[in-house]
A and B are shown apart, each in its own frame.
Chain A
Amino acid sequence: MNNIIASTALKARQLTDEEIHEIEHEKTHYPYAQAVGLEALKIVQKYQGWVSDESLLAVSEYLDIPPDDLEGVATFFNMIFRRPVGKNVILLCDSVACWMLGCDDLKAHITSVLGIEYGETTEDNLFTLIPVPCLGDCDRAPSMMVGRELYRNLTNEKIDQIIADYKAKA
C-alpha cells in the first residue's frame, strides 16, 4: 500500500535476519507479543548500538505493538538507549558502596582522560559514559561495566589500562 499512497511519514528500518531470528526465538517464550517488545528492543540495540526511531518503528511493525507503547517502555528502562552511543558504553556505578570508595574521583578521571561528561560520547565515537545504579558488585567496589564486561576494584590506573585496551581493540 505504501507504494500507492505517497507519504512523508517516518519509515521503519528493515530488521536484519539475525534480529528477526532472535526476536522469533523470544516470541516462543511468551504467550503475548507485547512481552517481546522490550526483548526485541534489546536485540536491536545489541546489533545497532542504540534504538533509533526507525528501529523502534521496525519492532513496532514486526510485533504489531503501537510505537507509543514501545516508546513508553523504551524510555522507562535505563538500559535502552534512544540516542546514539559510542562503540563502548561505560557504565560507571555511582551507588552508595562505590560512592564511598571514590567513584566520583573515578568519574572525574574518566572525564579528564576522555573529555566526556555523563551522557556524552567521545569525538572518535569510541566511548559513551553513563552512570548506572548499583551493579551488585559492592564487595569489589568501585565497579563499572564496559559493554557486557565488568571491571572491579577500580583505580585511576586500572581505568587508564582499560581505556587503552579498548582503544587498541578499535
Chain B
Amino acid sequence: MSINNPLTKNIEKGRAPFTFAEYKAAGGYQSFANAIKMAPRDVMGQVKDAGLGGRGGAGFNTGLKWSFSPDPDGLPRYLVVNADEMEPGTFKDRLLMESDPHLLIEGMITASYAIQATTGYIFLRGEYTVAEENLLKAIAEAYDNGMLGKNIQGSDFSLDIYLHTSAGRYICGEETALINALEGKRANPRFKPPFPQVSGLWGRPTLVNNVETICNIPGILTYGVDWFKGLGLGDECGTRISGVSGRVKNPGCWEMPVGTTFRTLLEDYAGGMQDGYELKAFLPGGGSTDFLMPEHLDLPMIPGEVAKAGSRLGTSLIMVLDDKTCPVGTVRNLIKFFAHESCGWCTPCRDGLPWVEHILNKMEEGKGEMKDIEILKEMCGYMGPGNTFCALAPGAAEPLQSSLKYFMDEYESHVKHGCSYKSH
C-alpha cells in the first residue's frame, strides 16, 4: 500500500476540507464497511494488534484500553473524543479537525462499532471556531449520507454523533474531568477506579480518546494492521503528527513516521533555529513535559526512549527554548498557566502551584532568595506523580524540576542579580 500519510493525505494548505463526496472518492468511509463484517471484539483486536498508542499524551495502547469495557448490555454507552486541545505548545488536533473533519467522523463511527457505543460526543474546545464549523458541516453530511443515525449503511448498527463545545478549561483534557464537564458539572476529575470504561458518562461505559488517536482508526481498518505497522520506523507502528513552535525558521506540524528523531523534526521539517538564536533546550511534548537538552536531539520520538532521557513524549509537539529567552521566565509562564487551570479539587495542585508561581515571580522581580530554590525543589516532589488527584500538577512540576536540574545556575543568578534577559 502506497499511502504513508494517512492522517494528512487529504489535507492541502489553502484548500477547503473535503466534502463528504470528495472524502469518499478519496477512499474514505471504507473502514466502517470493513469493520461491520467483523465482530466488534475483532475490530478491537485489530486496533490492539496494530500497536496504536494514544496520541493525547499518555501513549497507552488504544485497543487495550477499549478491551476493558464490559460486554454490551443493551443500554447506552459512549465514545467521547477529546478535542479539548489546550496543552501549551500543542496544535495538532486543530489541524486535523479544521482540515479533514470527515477523517475524525469516520474514525468515530468505526471505533464506536468496535466498542458498541450508541452515541459519540466530540468535546471541542470553544475557541476552535473553524473546527466547530467544519465538524458541524461534516456531521450533517454524514447524517445525510447514511453514515450516521439509525442502521448505518443498512447494518444493525446505529450511532449519533454530537459536537459539544466547551468553555475553556485545560483540566477538561483529563478524561474524567471531561466527562464531568460533558455532564454539565464542574470539571473536577474523578477518582479511578472505577475507570470510565466501566462507569463513565452518566454512569455508563465510556471511552475517551484523543482526536489524533481516533483519526488513526480508519487507516488501520482500511489498509490493515500490517500496513499500519509498516508505517513506523524500525519496530514502531504508524505515523503521528509532530511539530515545533518557538524561534525556529519554519514552525508548524507535520505527519511523520513514529520513530522519527527530534533532530529530523527540528532541522529537516522546521528548518532549524532562526538566525541569531541558539537552541538552549526544548520541551518535547507540551508544557507539562520535562525539558530536554540539545544532546537529546538524536532520540527517536518514542515514549520509551524519551522516558529514558528523563522526560515524556507527551503530545510530541516540541517547543524550543532559545538562548535569548529566560528559562526561569519560561517556567514561570508555564506554572502561571497550570496554577490558573488547576480545578481546585486537591490540595497539592490547588495550593502548591500558586506558591511556586509566587516564588518564580519573586525571582523574575529580583526578589528571590536562596531558600526559595530549596522550596522549589521540595515542591517538585510534593506535587509529584501519585501525590495528587490527577496528572495536572505532576505535569506542571516536570518543566520546573527539569529546569532546576539543567538551569540551576540561572536560578542562582536570578537570586543574586535578578533576571538578566530582555524583558518580555
Direct A–B contact present (CB less than 8 angstroms): yes
Q: Give A residues with C-beta under 8 Å from B.
A: 29-32, 34-39, 41-42, 65, 72-73, 76-80, 91, 94-97, 99-102, 104-105, 132-141, 145, 148-150
CA distance A65 to B183 in the complex (A): 13
C-alpha spacing A41/B167, complex, angstroms: 10
> A133 near B168 (CB under 8 angstroms)?
yes
Is A76 a contact of B337 with CB atoms below 8 Å?
no
User: Which chain A residue has the least Cβ–Cβ distance from B283?
Assistant: A96
| B-chain residues with CB within 8 Å of residue A140 when the two chains form the complex | 251
* Distance between Cα atoms of A30 and B130 in the complex (Å): 24
Tell me if A96 and B337 are in contact (CB < 8 A).
yes
In the bound complex, what is the Cα–Cα distance between A160 and B23 (angstroms)?
A: 40
Give B372 Cβ to nearest chain A Cβ, in Å.
22
Contacting residues, chain A, for B170 (C-beta < 8 A): 133
Of the residues B252, B317, B341, contact of A133 by C-beta under 8 Å: B341
Residue B245 CB within 8 A of the other chain: yes
Indicate if the CB atoms of B167 and A80 lie closer than 8 Å.
yes
Q: Does B181 have its Cβ within 8 Å of any Cβ on chain A?
A: yes
Of B85-93, B148-156, B224-232, B405-413, the segment with at least 4 beta carbons within 8 Å of chain A is B85-93
B265 to chain A, nearest CB (A): 13
Question: Residue B215 at the A interface, CB < 8 A?
Answer: no
Which one of A38, A78, A80, A134 contacts B90 once the chains associate, using CB atoms below 8 Å?
A134
Instruction: Report the bound CA distance from A132 to B129 in whole Å.
Output: 15
| Min C-beta distance of A50 to chain B, whole Å | 13
Complex-state Cα separation, A155 to B94, whole angstroms: 23
- Is there contact, CB below 8 Å, between A96 and B319? yes
* Assembly CA distance A102 to B423 (angstroms): 9
In the bound assembly, the distance between CA atoms of A34 and B201 in angstroms comes to 13
Q: A34-B184, A139-B252 are in contact. Are A134 and B162 (CB under 8 A)?
A: no
- Closest 9 A/B residue pairs (Cβ): A138-B245, A77-B167, A78-B168, A139-B251, A79-B168, A79-B167, A34-B184, A35-B184, A29-B162
Determine the distance from Cα of A101 to Cα of B331 in the docked complex, in whole angstroms: 15
Distance of A148 Cα from B165 Cα, bound (Å): 13
Question: Is the CB–CB distance between A134 and B87 below 8 Å?
Answer: yes
Q: Are A42 and B165 within 8 A (Cβ)?
A: yes
Q: Interface size of B by Cβ–Cβ distance < 8 Å? A: 56
* Contact partners of A29 in chain B: CB under 8 A: 162, 164
Give Cα distance in the complex from A138 to B253, angstroms.
Answer: 10
Contact A137 B94 (CB under 8 A): yes
**Are B246 and A100 within 8 A (Cβ)?**
yes
A37 cross-chain contacts in B, Cβ below 8 A:
184
Which of A77, A104, A134 has most B Cβ within 10 Å? A134
Distance (whole angstroms) from the CB of B240 to the closest CB of chain A: 16
Knowing that A31-B202, A138-B90 touch, tell me 6 more A-B residue pairs with CB under 8 angstroms: A34-B184, A34-B185, A38-B184, A39-B164, A96-B319, A101-B247
Assess the A104–B424 pair: CB atoms within 8 A.
Answer: yes
B131 closest partner in A (C-beta):
A136
Instruction: Establish whether residues B424 and A133, one from each chain, have CB atoms under 8 Å apart when the complex forms.
Output: no
Given contacts A134-B86, A136-B128, A140-B251, contact A76 B169 (CB under 8 A): yes
Q: B residues within 8 A CB of A79?
A: 126-127, 167-168
Contacts of B126 in A (CB 8 A): 42, 79
- The distance in angstroms between the C-alpha atoms of A132 and B184, with both chains bound, is 22
Instruction: Give CA–CA (A42, B88) in the complex, Å.
Output: 24
The minimal Cβ–Cβ distance linking B137 to chain A, given in whole angstroms, is 16
Would you call B89 and A132 a contact (CB within 8 A)?
A: no
Chain A residues closer than 8 Å to B186, beta-carbon distance: 72-73, 76
A139 and B244 within 8 A (CB): yes
Which of B91, B167, B340, B424 meets A99, CB within 8 Å? B424
Pairs across A and B, CB under 8 Å, 21 listed: A35-B183, A37-B184, A39-B165, A42-B165, A77-B168, A78-B168, A79-B127, A79-B167, A95-B287, A96-B333, A97-B89, A99-B329, A99-B330, A132-B168, A136-B91, A136-B128, A137-B91, A138-B88, A138-B89, A141-B245, A145-B127
